[in-house]
Amino acid sequence: MADLPLLRELGRPDSPLLDRLARDYATARPFPYLVMDDLFPAALLEGALREFDLSALNDVNVFRNQMQTRRSTSMTTVLPSAVQQFFDIVHAAPFLRLLTRLTGITGLVPDPYLYGGGMHEVGGQGHFQVHLDFGHHPVTHLENRLALITYLNSGWRGEDGGALELWHDRPRRRGVEICPSFACTVLMEQSVRAWHGHPTAVRPGRVRRSLIAYFYTAPRPQARDRRGDTLYLATYSQSASQRLEVYLRGLLPPLVMDVARACRRRRIRHARRGDGGGSV
């Protein structure tokens, strides 16, 4: 287990630092979150960054549509050793106790298969529109309660784009913008009000990398969020076609949207072959 200063604070009956962080989390707006710099040792994160090569891994998800452009590991990906060490730390009991101390959420359960989490990479011009994450794990059916994001981007500046945005939905507006700089960790609530994303495209030539873990509890009877998929928010900065897709996603079942997108991709491929003068 790595030596994390905040874990040492757990041994103190009354820790002013943990008390302050818990207050900051509970009172944050537009929804509960914390930004913590240097939560993890630099050597651990530097090792993960050195091994961060999605092209060398066995199973990688590729998302490329109007709402998001990114790559990530899957539930079956064999992670590099330094990356696996990071997730071994955040999935262990001491770290879960720390999360409970900071958020007040008891009975937290990790997901060692990292559904929706793991290694995430966004290349130049990549983005992820403002959205809510899935409400329940599709396999275990546990309720998604927390997301932990640690960034691995050295020398990142505002003009590089890709800032994490936390949004209010009533009225609809951006509330917080967080630079995805190296060793910055964001802990945030997962709920029907936790709108977030990085809609500003990453500058060409830059690559935005992060490590993401989700934490769950048994489903609460009173929980309103029963979704198993991502839900997007229509914003003023989106194109007309992106706003239309947000609207359609809210009306149509996911299967219908998947079929429609597959048909659209086939039409585009056929049109490109026609423009090039080729035939099959």
Q: In what order do the strands lie in the sheet with 231-232?
A: 172-178, 164-169, 195-198, 128-132, 231-232
Q: Is the pLDDT of residue 6 over 80?
A: yes
Q: Model confidence over 27-69: pLDDT tens digits?
A: 999 999 999 999 999 999 999 999 999 999 999 999 888 778 9
Domain boundaries, the chain: 5-234, 239-280
Which residue type, as a one-letter code, is found at position 159?
Answer: E
pLDDT of 240 reads 55
Task: Select from 92, 97, 187 the least CA-distant residue to 145.
Answer: 187
pLDDT of 230 reads 54
pLDDT class of 128 with cuts at 50, 70, 90? confident
Per-residue CA distances from 44 to 39, 114, 193 (Å): 11, 19, 33
Burial 85-112 (b: 16+ CB within 10 A, else e): bbbebbbeeebbebbbbbbebeebbbbe
Burial (CB < 10 A; 0-12, 13-18, 19+), residue 63, is: middle
Tell me: domain 5-234, CATH 2.40.50.140, correct? no
Residue 171, preceding peptide bond in cis (omega within 30° of 0) = yes
Q: Between 109 and 2, whose confidence is greater?
A: 109
Average pLDDT estimate for 79-104: 98
Average pLDDT estimate for 123-133: 91
Kindly state the percentage of the chain with pLDDT values over 70: 79
pLDDT of 276 reads 38
pLDDT class of 248 with cuts at 50, 70, 90? low
pLDDT of 41 reads 96
How many residues in total does the chain contain? 280
Q: Any idea which of 7-21, 141-155, 246-260 has the lowest mean pLDDT?
A: 246-260
Q: Please give the backbone phi and psi of residue 102, each rounded to the nearest 5 degrees, phi first.
A: -80, -35
Q: Please give the backbone phi and psi of residue 110, each rounded to the nearest 5 degrees, phi first.
A: -85, 170
Average pLDDT estimate for 228-240: 56
Per-residue CA distances from 16 to 19, 40, 101, 188, 276 (Å): 5, 20, 12, 21, 67
pLDDT class of 75 with cuts at 50, 70, 90? very high
3-class SS of residue 26? helix
Average pLDDT estimate for 99-123: 97
